[in-house]
Amino acid sequence: MPQHAHPLPTRAWPPPVPAPPVHPTAAGAAGAGAAAAERPAGTLLGETLWRVLIVVCAVLGYRATHGGTLLGLSQLASVAAAVGYSAVVVLTLTAAALGRPEPPTSWLRGLLVASLLLVMITWFTAMGGGVDETWSLFEHLLTPLAALVEWLFVGRRQRASRWWYPLTWAGALLLYLVVYLRADASIYPFLEPADPIFLPALAGLTATTLAVGYALVATARARRPSWDAGAA
Residue 32 has pLDDT above 50, yes or no: no
Mean of pLDDT values over 41-70 = 93
Give Cα 40 to chain centroid, integer Å. 20
Report d(CA 13, CA 32) in Å as an integer: 38
Q: Would you call 181 helix, strand, or coil by DSSP?
A: helix
Mean of pLDDT values over 131-139 = 97
What residues have CB less than 8 Å from 65, skipping those under 6 apart? 75, 135, 139
Q: Would you call 65 helix, strand, or coil by DSSP?
A: coil
| Per-residue pLDDT at 102 | 85
Confidence at 12, pLDDT banded by 50, 70, 90 = low
Residue 2 has pLDDT above 90, yes or no: no
Task: Give the helix/strand (H/E) hosting 32.
Answer: helix 24-37
Report d(CA 63, CA 68) in Å as an integer: 8
Cβ proximity of 85 and 151 under 8 Å: no
| Per-residue pLDDT at 8 | 55
Residue 129 has pLDDT above 90, yes or no: yes
Cβ proximity of 58 and 81 under 8 Å: yes
Residue 41 has pLDDT above 50, yes or no: yes
E strand intervals along 2-161: none
More confident site: 160 or 40: 160
Cβ proximity of 92 and 44 under 8 Å: yes
| Per-residue pLDDT at 73 | 96
Cβ proximity of 70 and 83 under 8 Å: no
| Per-residue pLDDT at 157 | 82
Contacts of range 193-202, beta carbons closer than 8 Å, 24 or more positions apart: 201/126, 202/177
Mean of pLDDT values over 104-120 = 98
Cα-Cα-Cα-Cα dihedral sign, residues 46, 142, 69, 204: negative
Residue 140 has pLDDT above 70, yes or no: yes
For residue range 191-224, what is the model confidence (pLDDT) as tens digits? 999 999 999 999 999 999 999 999 999 999 998 6
| Per-residue pLDDT at 38 | 53
Q: What is the pTM of this model?
A: 0.82
Mean pLDDT across the chain:
86
